[in-house]
Structure formats: structure tokens, C-alpha cells
Structure 1
């Protein structure tokens, strides 16, 4: 689980980073709005922890950017703005949860776990979408109970999309974050790998979003 922490306070940011890392989560910590947008343009993550009062802008503009890009990332706002109007504004602009500073790290961890379960239905090891199953520990996948013979690149693509079900993943993200990191990848052609993967798992799972990338829609299964 990769979490993007957008927080300019050094003490709070470091405390949150350590607490999440101790739970086995990978944390990318950035302190500016512009840096967060640049990161999200080319990198994958599973959840965003977002401060609103950033040095170079209001964190709410990141929510607007995420909606425009159709990334569908779960977001928890971490803010000292504690009025009802502030909380409603954050939630109405696309945040999934709102936690007022100061807060206990144990409460933040609980909310992160709850949001991950709601967003992905992921127990940390097993992924299931219709008749398609994947076990992260064993690197095995099956369809209708029959094992799938996947290459390393095909498995990496399938895992990436199943973990991020219902979210569009751009071609650039898949090419740079998934395929380029595989030393056994013979062909870097995303289209070739995706065609082979679709042939093996069957129709109706992977949907192309023209001009953007790919998505697995859980509601369609």
C-alpha cells in the first residue's frame, strides 16, 4: 500500500510517516501542492493524506485536479480548519474523510485502514473481482478456479489494476511504473502485454479509456 502524504509541517509529517511505515505502508512525503501534482501525473499511489494550508496553494485545488483527471484516489484531509463549513467543503469537493488537527496517530491509522477496506475491499493478500482471483503472497492468479499462466509483466499489470479497481490508470503510469521496472520484460509494448492479458483472463474485465489508459470496473462483474 503506497500512501502520498502532502503536509508541510515537519514534525507532524515525520510523525505520520513513521507511524504509517511501522504498519508496513510505503509513504511518499511531499510538502508542496505543486510537487504533489507533478508526482501524481506519473506515479501510482493508493491513498492521499492531504493538508489544506500548503505553502503554494490550497489543498482543495488538488481535489479538483484529481476529479478532473478521473484518478478516483481515496483522500483523507488533515487540517486545522475545524469549522463545520470547512469540513463540509472538503467532503463536498471529493475528500472521503476529514480529520481535524491535532489528532491521535492511532485514530489516523484506523481511518486509513477503514478507507482502504471501503475503497478496495483488499485484505492485504487476496484480491477478487468476479471469477478472477489473485493472491499477492504466492503470485498466483486464477479465473473460474483455473490457474492462469502469466508472464511477469502480465502479472504486474493485472495486480496493479486489481489493487486499484475502479480507478483509471494512465498509459504513462503503467509504462513507467510497472513495465519499465521489470528487468525480465522482453517487450515494453503496453498494447502487446494488455492484449495477451485480456486473451488469458477473458472479456469484460479490462476496459480501455480512450486517450487515457485502462481500468477494471468491479461493478461490471
Structure 2
């Protein structure tokens, strides 16, 4: 499948450079220097992911990001900007960006981050299509790779103990990998692709503590410890979406000095 990347960048030379290096990877690109035009392109369903600058002709890229998330558009967004302070990065991530890369940047790293965004977003769709296609050879699961089950979550009703669970159920919280969907007390919770990947990573092994370095590797496909703030910001966004105030961090717990773990218990 040919994926289309929307590049919102007001420096034409930079936009052309980004486009050239994405096309080398087999992507199609759409270039614009305006937030308004970029927003319309996304709303028309013409892009599979967005590379978004901050300082643009008609505003800050974070405003476009916020507007898309308010409209519950979960298209993956990578912010690529010269604003490189920790405060700037946190602002971008809190606005709803899935990743944040600063200029000057490594072309190889940019390509890798785009691949990771696309992979996380479209994996569930690929699973569905592969089941329906007679030309796709089913994946053979090595028995040594079976996912360990934990007593704090249940298999979905249509699953057997020999299957990797398609849904993780924790009382009111249901995480469906196949549908790439999260529901809390019956209500759909809108998560970005990165937020979903992070939640599924933690919830698939309740009680296990993940360090920030582990989460960066598993969710962001990077081992650069300079992005620890990215993990913290995404955890905070997740908590705001799935935690009820009275439960005081029921699901995602901080293990101070170590990392984070998923636990299905309400604190007193």
C-alpha cells in the first residue's frame, strides 16, 4: 500500500528535502505551507500521516494539532521544528502530536520515525485485510512466543486460552487491539496511535514495571534517552483520558525512580 504523508512546512527547501527523502522510502507526499490548507487536506482523507512544523505562515502548528484532536481525528502527527527546548517539546506533545523531532535532524532518524508512526497506526488494518486475502500466508506463531496471561485481566468472550487476546478487559476498561479501540464504562475513548500503543504495551502485562527506556524502544522505536519527557507527557495524556478523578490513578501507576506499570486497582 502506498501511504501519503502530508508535509506542512513553510521553508520550501526544507519541504522539498523532506519530500525527497520520504519518496525514497516509497511514500507519496503532499506539501503545503499553511495550516488552513493542511487541515482541509486531512479532513478530506487525503493523508495517512502528517509532518508538521510549529512556526508557519498562518499560525503555530500546535493549533492545527489541537484542532484535529478535538475533532477526534487520530491521524499520526510528527512535529518537526526548530523549537527545541523541553518546554516546546512538551507543548507539542500535549497538543496531541505523536512524536517530536527538532531541527537540524538526521534524515535516517526522520525516516525511521515516520515508518514507526505508519506501522503503529496501520497494523490493525493490516491484520484485518490479511485475514480476508487468499494471497497472504498466515503468520505461524512459535509456541515459545505465547503471551503470558495475568489474573487481573480476562480474555474476550470469543477467545480461547490458546489465542493471543484480541481484547484486554479490566472491569470498565476494554482495550481492543483488533479494532484499535478503547472503551471506558461503555464510552469510546479517543486515543492517538502512540497513546494506544503505550496503553496496550502496559496493559498486556499488568503489574510489570516498564522503565522509560523500555517504553521508548517498544513504543517509539528509539533508544535515545533524551526523549524521556515524551514518555512522561504521553502517560499524562493517557491518564487524563482513562482515569476517573476519584480513582486517583487506578490503572497507570508511577513507580518512582523506575518507570510505570499497569494495575487494575482503585486507590483508597
Same fold per superposition (TM over 0.5): yes
Number of aligned pairs?
Answer: 144
Q: CA deviation at 1:166?
A: 4.3
After TM superposition, the score normalised by the length of structure 2 is: 0.48
Distance (Å, rounded) in 2 between the aligned partners of 1:63 and 1:88: 13
In the superposition, relative to structure 1, how do residues 13 and 26 fare at CA in structure 2: closer, same or farther (>3 Å)?
A: same
Distance (Å, rounded) in 2 between the aligned partners of 1:132 and 1:12: 37
Q: CA deviation at 1:41?
A: 2.1
Alignment of 1:54-65 (within 5 A): 54-65=56-67
Alignment of 1:73-84 (within 5 A): 73-84=75-86
Asked if the contact 1:76–1:95 (Cα under 8 Å) also holds between the matched residues in 2, the reply is yes
- Structure 1's consecutive aligned runs of 4 or more residues displaced over 6 angstroms after TM superposition are none
**Whose RCO is larger (CA < 8 A, sep 6+)?**
1
Gaps of 5+ in 2: 139-178, 182-187, 189-199, 201-268
Distance (Å, rounded) in 2 between the aligned partners of 1:43 and 1:28: 12
Aligned to 1:9: 11
After TM superposition, the score normalised by the length of structure 1 is: 0.58
Alignment of 1:19-38 (within 5 A): 19-38=21-40
Gaps of 5+ in 1: 143-164, 168-208, 210-218
Aligned to 2:91: 89
Q: CA deviation at 1:33?
A: 0.7
Aligned to 2:131: 133
Greater radius of gyration (CA): 2
Deviations 1:155-198 (A, max 9, x none): xxxxxxxxxx649xxxxxxxxxxxxxxxxxxxxxxxxxxxxxxx
Distance (Å, rounded) in 1 between the aligned partners of 2:36 and 2:180: 26
Aligned to 1:103, the other structure's residue is in SS state coil
- Indicate which of 51, 54, 58 corresponds to 1:49: 51
Query: RMSD in angstroms over aligned alpha carbons?
Result: 3.2
Aligned to 2:126, the other structure's residue is in SS state strand
In the superposition, relative to structure 1, how do residues 101 and 127 fare at CA in structure 2: closer, same or farther (>3 Å)?
A: same
